[in-house]
Amino acid sequence: MAITTSKLLAHTLREFRYQLSLSQVDVAKLAAVKQTTISAFENNPDATKLETFFKILSALELELSIQPRPKIKQNSEEVINNTNNNIDEDW
């Protein structure tokens, strides 16, 4: 699954928590944080410290994996033609 926003990240981790039948209190104990911290992450992930995020991942036995986004391939001739068309329009 591609996660591209903090809201989607929080939603996904909440779903993992549900699948593990863990409460926010359970995850908080495993992550050594307060239950309110777990709630704050799930409801407003933008305000969460990166360190806290990794504690939550660890508590849920998850890890972060980063990969490049897939790119749409254009052949070089299309790119050159598009660039030339844009230049002609500007003049």
Average model confidence (pLDDT) for the chain? 88
The pLDDT value recorded for residue 58 is 98
- Domain ranges in the chain? 6-59
User: What is the model's pTM?
Assistant: 0.73
Q: Are 18 and 27 in contact (CB under 8 A)?
A: no
CATH class name, domain 6-59: mainly alpha
The pLDDT value recorded for residue 80 is 63
pLDDT in tens, 16-71: 999 999 999 999 999 999 999 999 999 999 999 999 999 999 999 999 999 898 88
